[in-house]
Structures are given as C-alpha cells and as structure tokens.
Amino acid sequence: MAGALSVLKRIYLTIYNWTIFFGWFQVLYLALKTLKESGHEHVYDAIEKPLLYAQSAAVLEILHGLVGLVRSPITATLPQISSRLYVVWGILWSFPETQSHILVSSLVISWSITEIIRYSFFGTKEALGSAPSWLLWFRYSTFLLLYPTGITSELGLIYTALPYMKESEKYCIRMPNTWNFSFVYSYAAILVLGIYVPGSPHLYSYMLGQRKKALSKSKRE
C-alpha cells in the first residue's frame, strides 16, 4: 500500500513539474519572439495567458509542502510565491498602464529561465530518481544573475504602478464606514517595497548557502 502511494506521488509530481515547465517554456519562447518581432511594448499581451496560468499554479506547491508531499519548508516557499502572485495579479494584471514597460520583458525572461531550470530539475528527479549534475549546477548558479535582474524588475514595476494606484483608487477602502477601517493600496505597495530591502539580501544569502550545500554534496558523491 505504501509502495503504491509513493509511486502515485512520483507520477503526480512528475506530471505537475513538466506541465508547469511547459507553461514557463511558452512564456520564454513567446517573450523572446515578440521582443524580436514587435518590441517590448507587446511582450505582455503575448505572454499573459501562460504567465497567469503557470504562476498561479504555483499555489499548489504551498499545498504540497503542507501535506508533506515535498520537503521544502513553507516558510521559504510562501514568501516567494506571494511576491510572485502580487507582481503578476496585483501589479501587472491590475494596472494595464504598466504592461508596456520594458521591465516586463526583463521580468518574465528572468523568471521564466529560472523556472524552466527549476521545474525540469524537479521533473527529472521525480521521473528518473536523480537529475544530471549539469542541471544541478544550472539550478544553483543562474540565480546569481537572475535574482538581481528579477528583483530589480519587480521593484521597478511596483514603483511605476504607484501613480496609477493612487489615481484609480483600485482596491482602496476609505473612511467613514461601519467597521472603521481603511486600506490604501499605494501605501501597502510602499510597505512591500520596504520589505524588499531586508528581504532580498536575506533570500540571496539563503540561496548562496543552498548552493554551497548542494554543489559540495554532489562533488562528494
């Protein structure tokens, strides 16, 4: 019984990882194609559907961590996925004025390369039991460049959206109301920008530590 369950788990995770891999592959392909043929202003329109699907599906990973299907602690995956969903739904999708910005291109290219490597790494590991060492190297090395480029793009896009947040009053709750509550979306966005200040170096040094652990372990094996 336990054997059958673990096989089922492997099949599910293999399908999951390769499906999402395909989604991000589409994002990268369409982004580069549109960039070359039409220019950065049109990149968002081309990749919107696969981006929304591939990124939103990542909430399943929180579920996977909670039920113990995967080992990753949710304290690491939750902030990562939340910030991604915030940028995709809370900034790009909500404020169309940001969609023609050139940072959208740098954002989706950084994200999609990272995710293609990550999901193929896990997809191979689940399917075959282990991943080739070059893939392991990619997984723990490309972040060195792609995290800074991705984070810069995220910060830039949130910042460019601020005037549109203020003007549109979208997602805002104002006083007076019976629950004596207010919410100003642009202030919350500024708070998020503030969190990036300690959050990004923390995340980056965490990844550096993971890199050291993973690459030295594979050397010894």
Partner 1 sequence: MKVAVITRSGKEFFKGGLELNDSATVADLQEAIYKRTKKYHPSRQRLTIPLQPGSKEKPTVLQSKKCLKEYSDGNTDKLTVVFKDLGTQVSYRTLFFWEYLGPLVIYPIFYYFPVYHFFGYRGERVIHPVQTYALYYWCFHYFKRIMETFFVHHFSHATSPLSNVFRNCAYYWTFGAYIAYYANHPLYTPVSDLQMKVGFGFGVVCQVANFYCHLLLRNLRSPNGSGGYQIPRGFLFNVVTCANYTTEIYQWLGFNIATQTVSGYIFMVVAASIMTNWALAKHRRLKRLFDGKEGRPKYPRRWVILPPFL
**How wide is the angle at C-alpha 99 spanned by C-alphas 93 and 102, nearest 5°?**
140
Please give the radius of gyration of the chain, using alpha carbons only, rounded to the nearest integer. Answer: 19
Amino acid of residue 149: T
Q: How far is the CB of 176 from partner 1 (least distance, A)?
A: 4
- Smallest CA-to-CA distance from 65 within 86, 79, 51 is with 79
- Nearest CB to partner 1, comparing residues 134 and 179: 179
- Site pattern 170..189 for partner 1 (x: CB under 8 A): -----xxxxxxxx-------
Q: How far is the CB of 151 from partner 1 (least distance, A)?
A: 25
Amino acid of residue 156: G
From 86, 147, 164, 204, the catalytic residue:
147
Q: Is 154 a catalytic residue?
A: yes
DSSP classification of residue 183? B
- Site pattern 120..159 for partner 1 (x: CB under 8 A): ----------------------------------------
Helix axes 43-56 and 2-37, enclosed angle (nearest 10): 170
Q: How far is the CB of 174 from partner 1 (least distance, A)?
A: 9
- Nearest CB to partner 1, comparing residues 1 and 177: 177
Q: Is 167 a catalytic residue?
A: no
d(CA 50, CA 47): 6
Q: How far is the CB of 20 from partner 1 (least distance, A)?
A: 33
Contact between 75 and partner 1 per CB under 8 A: no
How many CA atoms does the CB half-sphere of 132 hold within 13 Å? Answer: 5
Residues in Cβ contact with 184 at an 8 Å cutoff, skipping those fewer than 6 apart: 172
The size of the interface with partner 1 (CB under 8 A), counted in residues, is 8
- Nearest CB to partner 1, comparing residues 29 and 187: 187
Backbone angles phi, psi at 109, to 5 degrees: -70, -45
- Nearest CB to partner 1, comparing residues 178 and 219: 178
Q: How far is the CB of 62 from partner 1 (least distance, A)?
A: 19
- Nearest CB to partner 1, comparing residues 69 and 184: 184
- Smallest CA-to-CA distance from 58 within 25, 85, 22 is with 85
Active site residues: 147, 154
- For partner 1, the binding residues (CB under 8 A) are 175-182
